[in-house]
């Protein structure tokens, strides 16, 4: 067999393998809705001298999550919050740990402050 034909066979084999290995992951995906109850465990606010009341905060939080099906999971959150006088932004990394040992980690970004109208955070 020539090299070109071998390359096409190898490529086709890799495509089929990638599809076969990835498709069960896509089929098994589901949305999980939950409420979480969180509390701060550590925080380090650092004033920034460029504007009045500008603070950057690195914080660690813990939480417990109550899923729709009643299952309870634990959560660790690492957050970076950049707050000005009236509003700011945040980036957080959340790891949810379930009783069976499985985990989900995700990143969330959003805004917080008076500009949202109700004082709640949005991500």
| 7 contacts 41 by C-beta, under 8 angstroms | no
Instruction: Using the predicted structure, report yes or no on whether residue 117 has a pLDDT greater than 70.
Output: no
Nearest to 88, CA basis, from 59, 63, 68: 59
Same structural domain for residues 92 and 76? yes
Is residue 122 a part of any domain in this protein? no
| 95 contacts 104 by C-beta, under 8 angstroms | yes
Output the pLDDT for position 41: 93
Same structural domain for residues 66 and 22? no
Same structural domain for residues 22 and 70? no
- Per the structure, the count of domains in the chain is 2
| 1 contacts 8 by C-beta, under 8 angstroms | no
d(Cα 73, Cα 67) in Å, to the nearest integer? 8
Instruction: Using the predicted structure, report yes or no on whether residue 115 has a pLDDT greater than 70.
Output: no
Is residue 59 a part of any domain in this protein? yes
Tens-digit pLDDT profile for residues 12-60: 666 665 655 655 555 566 777 888 898 999 999 899 988 888 999 999 9
Is residue 121 a part of any domain in this protein? no
| 70 contacts 77 by C-beta, under 8 angstroms | no
Output the pLDDT for position 77: 93
- Strands laid side by side in the 87-97 sheet: 34-47, 55-67, 72-83, 87-97, 103-113
Output the pLDDT for position 61: 92
Tens-digit pLDDT profile for residues 52-100: 889 999 999 999 899 888 899 999 999 999 988 878 899 999 999 999 9
Four-point Cα dihedral 95, 106, 117, 82, nearest 10: 80
pTM of the model: 0.64
Same structural domain for residues 23 and 41? no
- Supply the range of the domain harboring residue 16: 1-30
Same structural domain for residues 18 and 75? no
In sequence order, the β-bridge partners of residue 47 are 55
Is residue 123 a part of any domain in this protein? no
Same structural domain for residues 17 and 70? no
Same structural domain for residues 26 and 41? no
């Amino acid at each position: 067999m020539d090299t070109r034909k071998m390359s096409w066979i190898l490529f086709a084999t890799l495509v089929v393998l990638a599809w076969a290995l990835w498709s069960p992951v896509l089929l098994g995906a589901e949305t999980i809705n939950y409420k979480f109850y969180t509390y701060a465990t550590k925080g380090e606010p650092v004033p920034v001298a460029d504007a009045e009341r500008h603070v950057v905060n690195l914080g660690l939080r813990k939480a417990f999550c109550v899923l729709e099906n009643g299952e309870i999971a634990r959560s660790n959150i690492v957050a970076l919050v950049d707050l000005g006088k009236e509003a700011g932004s945040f980036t957080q990394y959340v790891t949810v740990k379930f009783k069976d040992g499985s985990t989900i980690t995700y990143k969330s970004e959003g805004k917080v402050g008076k500009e949202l109208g109700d004082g709640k955070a949005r991500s």
